[in-house]
Chains A and B, each alone.
Chain A
Amino acid sequence: MSSGTGPSSSATSSRKVRLATVWLAGCSGCHMSFLDLDEWLLELAELAEIVYSPVGSDVKTYPEGVDVCLVEGGVANADNLELLHQVRTRTRVLISFGDCAITANIPGMRNMLHGADPVLRKAYLELADGSGQLPHAPGIVPELLERVLPVHELVPVELYLPGCPPSAARIRAALEPLLQGGWPELSGADLIRFG
C-alpha cells in the first residue's frame, strides 16, 4: 500500500498488497462475483498479490502477514471456525464478504431447527430414502457447529460487504481504495444492500 492513511502503516510502497479470499459456508457465489471483476482483475493483479484463494491460488495453508482478506460464507463447522481464527490472527483487514458472512443467510436457515443433531437427523434420516445413516468420519468430515454464525459474531471484522452476492462493482468499490492505501466509505443501495 502506498500511503499511511489506511490500516497499512507497515506496508511499504514497493510491496504489493497481500490479498486473500476465503470460502467458508457459502455457495461460492461471492467468489464468482469476484471473478466478474473481469478486466479489472488485471489491474488488481498489478496492485495485489493473491496469497490465498480458492479461485486464485494453489496455496493450501493460510499464510502469515495478509493485508486484506475477503471472507465468504457463514461459520458452519469446525474447519470453518479453525480457518477463520487463522485468518483473523494473520490478517490486518478482514472483510465480511457477502450476506452469508454477515447474516449467516441461507446456511443459517438450519439454525431454525436449533442444533446440529436435529439438522443431521432431518437431512440424513427423516428425509432419506430408507437407508439413511448419520455421516460420521472423524478427521475427514468436519463436525457441524450447533449454529451457523456470521463472521463478526466470532471475530472482529473491519469491513462489511453485503449482497447475495455483492456485485463486482461493489467489490471493486471496497477493494480499490484499500489497494490505494485509503479506506472505502460504503453507503447507499448500490453498495450495502442485502440480498
Chain B
Amino acid sequence: MSGILRVCTAAGCAGCGGSALREQLGAVIAAATTGDPASGLALKGVGCLGPCGEGALLELESASGRRLFGGITPEGVAAVAASLANLSPGTDLGTWAPPAARPIDLEQPFFRLQKRLVLEHCGRIDPESLAEALAAGSYGQLRRVLQENRPEAVIEQVRRSGLRGRGGGGYPTGLKWATVARMPGPEKVVVCNADEGDPGAFMDRSVLEGDPHRLLEGMAIAAWAVGASRGFIYVRAEYPMAIAHLRTAIAQAEDQGLLGAAIAGSAFGFQLELRVGAGAFVCGEETALIHSIEGQRGVPRPRPPYPAEVGVFGLPTLINNVETFASVPPLLAIGAEAYAAIGTTNSGGTKVFSLTGDVRLAGVLEVPMGTPIATIVETMGGGAPDGHAIKAVQTGGPSGGCVPANRLDTPVDYESLQELGSIMGSGGMVVMDDSTSMVDVACFFMAFCREESCGKCIPCRSGTVQLHLLLQKHLAGEADAADLAQLESLCHMVKDTSLCGLGQSAPKPVLSTLRHFRGDYLALLRPEPEATPEPVP
C-alpha cells in the first residue's frame, strides 16, 4: 500500500497528541515488513494543517486523494496506531478510517476559500527537511534573482505588488526596501521581527514552525536587494519549536550554500543569526528590538532616526515581519501584477490570520486581502458555537480594537479596519460571542499592556496602571460617570503622549469598545450619590 500520512506536529497539535501520534505511527511503519499494509507508507511530521481547534490532526494522502482527520486525543493515539498496524492486507489507505478520530471535510469553506501563498508549503512538507523544501520549489526565486542580478528590479517588483508590512503597520514594503537600498555605506543589516506577542496571534509561529526555509529565502532576497550582508531573526523564547526549526534550517541552508558566503555560486554573501528574546512584548517594537539584538536593555527610543537610517549597531537596517519576508518568494514566483490582483487596490496579496475565540473552527488560514471579516469568522470559521451570536471580532491584539457584529461586512485591509478604530495588526482574530463583557475584554488587554510596558516613559508606565485600575473599578461596579469620563480622557492622554507604539496603542481596546459598546460600560456604573445641599460652581 502506498500513501503519505501527515501528522501535524506544530506546537498546538504536538501538545494534544500529535507528538505521540507521530511516534507511534512511525513505530508501526518501521516495524512493518514487506507485504504488511503499512510497509509502503511514508510518515511525515508537518507544520500547521489549519484547523488547530480540531487537533490533533492527521492527513492521509493516497491515490484516491487527501482526507483529514481531527479530534485525536492523547488517549486515542494508541487505538489509531493499532488500527494501522492491524489493517488487513490489500486495504487501500483511501478507505482506512482511523478510530477515535473524526473526518474533517476538506471541501468546506475553511479550506475552499483560502488562498495559500505564504502557507503554500506549510502542512505539506517536513519543515526539518531541506530536501523537501527544495523539491517544493524553495530557494528557486533566490537563485533566479541572483542569476538575473538586478536588485533594483526585485525592489520594483515588490513595490508594484502592493505588499505592505504584515506586522500590522502596513508600511509599503517596496518603499522600505528602496529606502534602505539607497542608504550609503558598505554595511547594512536585515532583521526579521519574529517576536509575535499579541494574545491570540499564532500566524508567524505557523510559518516558522511549518516552513522556515520560506522565511530564509525571503530574507536572503531582501538582503541581496538592499545590499545587506548580515541578518538577524529575532524570535521570542516562548516559541521553542520555531527556534529549533529555524536553527536546523539555517544550518542546512549554510551547508548547501544557500546562506553564508557565495550563495548559490554568486558573489553575494549573507550571514544570518538567530536572536532569542527574553520574554518582553515591547521587543516587538522595532527600536526596542534593535537594542535587544545589540545586547542592550530592550526599550524603545524616539524615532526619527528610523532604523532604515540608524539601525542595528548604527547601520542602515531593514526590519520586516515574518509574513512580509515569507510573502516575497511566492510574490516573485507569480509576478507583481498577479500578486497585486489578489488583494484590494491599497492592500495587495494575501494575509494569514489566526482565528480563535468563540468560533466553531479555529485555526490558521490565509485569505486574499479585502475578504470581509464575516466571510472569515462566519463562513469559514462557522460562527459562534452553542447557539450564541457573535458580538465582536477583536483584531490587532492589545494594539487593536473590536469590530462590532454589525460591521462584520468590513473587508480586511489596512484602511477599513483603521476607520473602525481597530487595526489589521499582525493577524490575530479573536471572536467573541454575545456572552462577552467588552469591559472585561478591555480590562484584559490593559492588564497585558500594564504588564508589558517597559517603563521608560511615564504615560505608559503609570498610565496603563491607572487605566487598569479604572477598568477594574468599572468591573467591580464601583465606578461612576466621573470615572468613565476620566477613563476616556486618560486613554487619549496615554495614546497621544506615549513614546512608542506600545503605549500609543494600549488605550485602543478601551477606546474601541467605548465607541462600539458604550452600553457595556454604562451598565456597570453605580447610581449617582445624593447631591450635596446645593450645587457648587
Chain A: residues with CB nearer than 8 A to chain B? Answer: 6-7, 9-10, 65, 88-93, 156, 158, 183
Q: Which are the 9 A-B pairs with shortest beta-carbon distances?
A: A7-B536, A158-B536, A92-B534, A7-B537, A92-B533, A92-B536, A88-B532, A93-B536, A10-B534
Report the minimal beta-carbon distance from B477 to chain A, rounded to whole angstroms: 17
Q: A104 CB to closest chain B CB, in angstroms?
A: 16
Query: How many interface residues does B have (CB within 8 Å)?
Result: 6
Name the prevailing secondary structure of the B interface residues: loop
Residues of A within 8 A of B536 (CB): 7, 92-93, 158
Could you list 15 A-B pairs, sorted by A, with CB under 8 Å? Answer: A6-B537, A7-B534, A7-B537, A9-B534, A10-B534, A65-B533, A89-B532, A89-B533, A90-B533, A91-B533, A92-B533, A92-B536, A156-B532, A158-B536, A183-B537
Additional A-B contacts beyond A7-B536, A7-B537 (8; CB < 8 A)? A6-B537, A88-B532, A91-B532, A92-B533, A92-B534, A92-B536, A156-B532, A183-B537
| A93 partner residues in chain B, CB cutoff 8 A | 536
CA distance A120 to B534 in the complex (A): 40
Quote the shortest CB–CB distance from B528 to chain A (angstroms): 11
Q: Could you tell me which residues of chain B, from 498 to 537, have a CB within 8 Å of some CB in chain A?
A: 530, 532-534, 536-537
Find chain B residues with CB under 8 A from A91 CB.
532-533
Residues of A close to B530: CB separation below 8 A: 89
Chain A CB within 10 A, most for which of B534, B536, B537: B536
In the complex, the chain B residue whose C-beta lies closest to that of A65 is B533
Question: Which residues from chain A contact B537 at a C-beta distance below 8 Å?
Answer: 6-7, 183
CB distance from A147 to the nearest CB of B (A): 13
Chain B proximity of A25: nearest CB distance (Å): 23
How many Å lie between the Cα of A156 and that of B481 in the bound state? 13
Chain A residues within an 8 Å CB radius of B534: 7, 9-10, 92
- In the bound complex, CA of A156 to CA of B536 (Å): 10
**In chain B, residues 273-318, which have Cβ atoms closer than 8 Å to a Cβ of chain A?**
none
> How many angstroms from the CA of A46 to the CA of B178 in the assembled complex?
81
Find chain B residues with CB under 8 A from A7 CB.
Answer: 534, 536-537
In whole angstroms, how far apart are the Cα atoms of A93 and B534 in the complex?
10
Smallest Cβ distance from B131 to chain A, in angstroms?
61
Assembly CA distance A65 to B534 (angstroms): 10
Q: Which residues of B contact A158 (CB under 8 A)?
A: 536
CB nearest to B536 among chain A residues: A7
Shortest CB distance A15–B (Å): 15
In angstroms, Cα B537 to Cα A90, docked, is 17
Cβ of A14 to closest chain B Cβ, rounded Å: 19
Q: How far is the CA of A183 from the CA of B532 in the complex (A)?
A: 19
- Of chain A, the residue at the smallest CB distance from B537 is A7
Closest Cβ neighbor of B530 among chain A residues: A89
Alpha-carbon separation in the docked complex, A89 to B530 (Å): 9
Nearest CB on A from B365, distance (A):
48
Q: Which residues of B contact A88 (CB under 8 A)?
A: 532
Give the complex CA separation of A159 and B530 in angstroms.
Answer: 20
What is the CA–CA distance of A92 and B534 in the complex, to the nearest angstrom? 6
In the complex, what residues of B have CB within 8 A of residue A156's CB?
532
A163, chain B: closest CB distance, angstroms: 22
Q: How far is the CA of A186 from the CA of B320 in the complex (A)?
A: 53
Please measure, in the bound complex, the distance between the C-alpha atom of A163 and the C-alpha atom of B533, giving whole angstroms. 28
Q: Which residues between 90 and 128 of chain B lie within 8 Å of chain A, taking CB atoms?
A: none
